[in-house]
C-alpha cells in the first residue's frame, strides 16, 4: 500500500524538522505534496532553496500553491490536489514531528485489518521540541496487552463525545485510508457541521465506515505554544474546538450513536465551560444563548444553535 504525505504548509521555520522526519522513515512515503499557503510564497522558496537541498534529495516532493483562504481551506486544497492517487494518506501539519517508524507501524496496522484510519498517540512538546506530556486514553486502552486495537463507532463515540474529550490527538498522528478522505472535504455529521473540531469529527465519521486502528506506541509529537492557533485561548479556533463538541453531540444523536440523555450531558458540560470562559466574548453571545436554551431543552433550541453556529463559521471563514 502506497502512502502519500500531504502537508498544508505555512510555517517555513519548521522545514528542516519536517524534512528530517520524512527522510529517516524506515518505510518512506512514495509522494510528498506540499500546499504552500504562506503569504508571498516564502515557504516554497525556502523548501526548494539550495540550503535545503541536502534534506530534500531523495524525497519525491511536489509543491503546489495554496488557496490562501484559511488553514482548513488549505487542507481541503491539498486533498483535492492529491486526487485519490494512493491507498493511504498522511495529513501532516508543518509544525509537527513524526518518528522514524511512523509509516512502517501504521502500514502494518492497515495491512493487518480493514481500517478507516490508524491513530498513534503522540507526545506534547514545547516549541523547541522538548517532550512535556503524553495523552490520556481510557484505562481499558492502556491496560490492553494488544499493540493495535480495533475500535468501532460505538466505542469511539462513547469515549469521546459522550465524555467531551478527544484522547486521539489530531491529523498529524493519523494515517487515513484513501477512500475516507472525502470526509475531509465535507466536515459534517448527521447534517451538522463540526468545522473547528475537524480531527475528532473525521475520526468519528470514518469509524462509521470501518473500525479505527489505535496503535499503542507514541510515534511523534505536537508542539504547544508558539504562534499556532492552539496558542490563543480566546481565538476562534480554540472557541470552535470547544463548541464543536455540541455539534458532534447533536450530529451523533441524529445518526443514532448517542442517546438524547448523552447529548444533553454534553450540551450541559460544554455550556458550563463556555459560560465560564467566554461569557464576555461578544462573538459568542448568540451561541451561548442558544446553548443555554439547549441545556434547558427549550423549544427550537437546536435550530437556534445551528443558526448561531453557522453565523460563527461564516464570520470566521470556516
Closest CA to 257 of 181, 116, 160: 160
pLDDT band at 48 (very low <50, low <70, confident <90, very high): very high
114 lies in the same domain as 140 = yes
Residue 262 to residue 57: CA distance in whole angstroms: 52
- Provide the grid cell at 75: 487542507
Domain endpoint, select from 173, 200, 230? 230
296 lies in the same domain as 199 = no
Domain count, the chain: 2
185 lies in the same domain as 256 = no
301 lies in the same domain as 171 = no
pLDDT band at 128 (very low <50, low <70, confident <90, very high): confident
Query: Is residue 18's pLDDT more than 70?
Result: yes
Closest CA to 93 of 32, 10, 31: 10
- Provide the grid cell at 182: 472525502
224 lies in the same domain as 250 = no
242 lies in the same domain as 216 = no
State the pLDDT at residue 149.
Answer: 97
State the pLDDT at residue 5.
Answer: 98
Tell me the average pLDDT across 190-217.
97
- Write down how long the chain is: 318
Domain endpoint, select from 201, 230, 259? 230
Tell me the average pLDDT across 126-137.
89
Angle, CA 103 vertex, CA 50 and CA 93 arms, to 5°: 55
Beta carbons within 10 angstroms of residue 139's beta carbon = 8
pTM for this entry: 0.95
191 lies in the same domain as 296 = no
State the pLDDT at residue 154.
Answer: 97
pLDDT band at 167 (very low <50, low <70, confident <90, very high): very high
Range of the domain at 273: 233-315
- State the DSSP code for 12: G
pLDDT in tens, 78-118: 999 999 999 999 999 999 999 999 999 999 999 999 999 99
148 lies in the same domain as 29 = yes
Query: Is residue 119's pLDDT more than 70?
Result: yes
194 lies in the same domain as 274 = no
200 lies in the same domain as 311 = no
Tell me the average pLDDT across 269-295.
94
**Residue 167: CATH number of its domain:** 3.90.550.10
State the pLDDT at residue 224.
Answer: 82
Tell me the average pLDDT across 156-183.
97
Query: Is residue 227's pLDDT more than 80?
Result: no
74 lies in the same domain as 148 = yes
Residue 116 to residue 177: CA distance in whole angstroms: 5
Amino acid at each position: 500500500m502506497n502512502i502519500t504525505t500531504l502537508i498544508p504548509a505555512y510555517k517555513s521555520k519548521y522545514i528542516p524538522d519536517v524534512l528530517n522526519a520524512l527522510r529517516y522513515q524506515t518505510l518512506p512515503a512514495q509522494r510528498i505534496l506540499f500546499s504552500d499557503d504562506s503569504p508571498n510564497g516564502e515557504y516554497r522558496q525556502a523548501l526548494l532553496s539550495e540550503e535545503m537541498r541536502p534534506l530534500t534529495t531523495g524525497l519525491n516532493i511536489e509543491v503546489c500553491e495554496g488557496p490562501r483562504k484559511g488553514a482548513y481551506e488549505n487542507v481541503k486544497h491539498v486533498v483535492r490536489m492529491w486526487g485519490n492517487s494512493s491507498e493511504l494518506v498522511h495529513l501532516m501539519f508543518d509544525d509537527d514531528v513524526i518518528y522514524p517508524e511512523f509509516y512502517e507501524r501504521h502500514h502494518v496496522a492497515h495491512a493487518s485489518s480493514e481500517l478507516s484510519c490508524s491513530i498513534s498517540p503522540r507526545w506534547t512538546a514545547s516549541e523547541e521540541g522538548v517532550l512535556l506530556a503524553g495523552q490520556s486514553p481510557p484505562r481499558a486502552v492502556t491496560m490492553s496487552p494488544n499493540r493495535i486495537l480495533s475500535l468501532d463507532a460505538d466505542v469511539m463515540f462513547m469515549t469521546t463525545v459522550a465524555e467531551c474529550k478527544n484522547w486521539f490527538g489530531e491529523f498529524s498522528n493519523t494515517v487515513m485510508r484513501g477512500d475516507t478522505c472525502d470526509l475531509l472535504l465535507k466536515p459534517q455529521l448527521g447534517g451538522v457541521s463540526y468545522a473547528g473540531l475537524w480531527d475528532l469529527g473525521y475520526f468519528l465519521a470514518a469509524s462509521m465506515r470501518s473500525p479505527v486502528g489505535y496503535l499503542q506506541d507514541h510515534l511523534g509529537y505536537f508542539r504547544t505554544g508558539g504562534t499556532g492557533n492552539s496558542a490563543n485561548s480566546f481565538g476562534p479556533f480554540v472557541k470552535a474546538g470547544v463548541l464543536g463538541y455540541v455539534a458532534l453531540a447533536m450530529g451523533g444523536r441524529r445518526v443514532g450513536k448517542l442517546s438524547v440523555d448523552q447529548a444533553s450531558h454534553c450540551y450541559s458540560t460544554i455550556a458550563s465551560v463556555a459560560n465560564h470562559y467566554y461569557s464576555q466574548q461578544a462573538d459568542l453571545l448568540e451561541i451561548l444563548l442558544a446553548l443555554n436554551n439547549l441545556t434547558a431543552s427549550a423549544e427550537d433550541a437546536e435550530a437556534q444553535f445551528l443558526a448561531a453556529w453557522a453565523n460563527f463559521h461564516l464570520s470566521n471563514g470556516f
